[in-house]
Amino acid sequence: MKVNVPEIVKMDPWLIPVAEDIKLRHRRFVNRLSCIEEIAGNISKFANAYKFFGFNYSAQKRGWFYREWAPNALQLWLAGDFNQWDPYAHPLTRIQNGVWELFLDDKTYKNTFVHGSKLKTYVQTHETIRARIPAYIRRVIQDEITKDYTGQLWIDKYDWENDNFVPDLEKKLFIYECHVGMAQEKPAVGSYTEFTRNILPKIKGLGYNAIQLMAIQEHPYYGSFGYHVANFFAPSSRFG
């Protein structure tokens, strides 16, 4: 009988004891990828879903669209400081394929729905109504007193440099795995600014040409080392 041995196990005999676990994980990956491709078309479209879902400004319509995918929900509402946290003042409308939508026009909300606005979504199911952070929100903050997490409208005006950057494909990747908050020598959570100023030059000086940032997506429990991801499209605000 032919034994199906993963290529990575052939390359590294130390993995033989966990070969079955590796095959199980690979099957799960293939199944999940198939589901994503069936729903979104391909992995690239799925990864760029934040351009449709979440909060996106329409210059043509002159206002903000907010969309969520919640096929099993009975109703969704948007609440925040822009409407004095009234949980039922702004209901979303189900449009198609489990997508819910709300439009906030500039004429009405230009001075209230602004950069930094705090937001939550109320979701009604058959059992209850609960407050949730919008899934595709791009910034999440924690209240220092209550420790409660809240989504925040974030209008990123950062001008990215090196837009035409092309990596040297002839050079092999030399990857340094790092953590923004834990990279500093001080006994405290480091910031993006400190990491850029103090750590990146050292990594480059050691000859690395790529970094793998750990725990960069928002996660409520810092001790999870970032594995308890809460918002995939929000870089963690605890670093700045």
* Rounded percentage of the chain residues whose pLDDT exceeds 70: 99
Give alpha helix (H) positions in 114-219. 192-194, 200-205
Residue 212 tokens, joined: 């793998």
Q: Are residues 120 and 203 in the same domain?
A: no
DSSP state of 91: B
Shared domain check, 95 and 28 = no
* 63 Cβ neighbours under 8 A, 6+ residues apart: 57, 103, 104, 105, 106, 107, 109
User: Taking all residues of the chain, what is their mean pLDDT, rounded to a whole number?
Assistant: 92
- 167 lies in some domain: no
Mean pLDDT confidence for 110-137: 96
3-state secondary structure of 203: helix
Q: How many domains does the chain have?
A: 3
Q: Give the per-residue pLDDT at 3.
A: 53
Provide the 3-class DSSP secondary structure of residue 182.
Answer: coil
Q: Are residues 109 and 40 in the same domain?
A: no
Query: 126 and 56 share a domain?
Result: yes
Asked if residue 166 is part of any domain, the answer here is no
Task: Please write the tens of the pLDDT for every residue from 175-203.
Answer: 999 999 999 888 999 999 999 999 999 99
Same structural domain, 85 and 100: yes
Q: What does the pLDDT read at residue 190?
A: 93
Say what the pLDDT of residue 96 is. Answer: 87
Q: Is residue 188 situated within a structural domain?
A: yes
Whether 131 and 201 map to the same domain: the answer is no
Instruction: Tell me if 161 is assigned to some domain.
Output: no
Over the stretch 64-98, which tens digit does the pLDDT of each residue have?
999 999 999 999 999 999 999 999 999 999 998 89
Q: Do both 34 and 61 map to the same domain?
A: no
The whole-number average pLDDT for the span 204-208 is 94
Confidence tier at 109 by pLDDT (50, 70, 90): very high
Q: What was the pLDDT predicted at 156?
A: 81
Q: What is the DSSP string of 148-168?
A: -EEEE--------S-TT----
Whole-number pLDDT of residue 116: 95
1 pLDDT higher than 50: no
| Domain co-membership, 189 together with 148 | no
Question: pLDDT band for position 159 (50/70/90)?
Answer: confident
Structural domain of 14: 7-46
Say whether both 68 and 125 belong to one domain: yes
Report the pLDDT averaged over residues 131-160: 91
Residue 201 has a pLDDT of 96
pLDDT of residue 235: 93
Distance separating alpha carbons of residues 92 and 89, to the nearest angstrom: 10
Q: What is the mean pLDDT of residues 103-128?
A: 96
- pLDDT tops 80 at residue 234: yes
For residue 158, being part of any structural domain is answered with no
Q: Residue 1 domain-assigned?
A: no
Map residue 18 onto helix, strand or coil: helix
* CATH code of the domain containing 135: 2.60.40.10
Local structure of 71: helix, strand or coil: coil
Structural domain includes residue 164: no
Looking at the structure, do residues 68 and 99 belong to the same domain, yes or no? Answer: yes
pLDDT at 100 over 80: yes
Q: Note whether 60 and 141 are same-domain residues.
A: yes
Contact 135, 99 (CB under 8 A): no
Tokens of 88: 């039922």
Whether residues 145 and 119 fall in one domain: yes
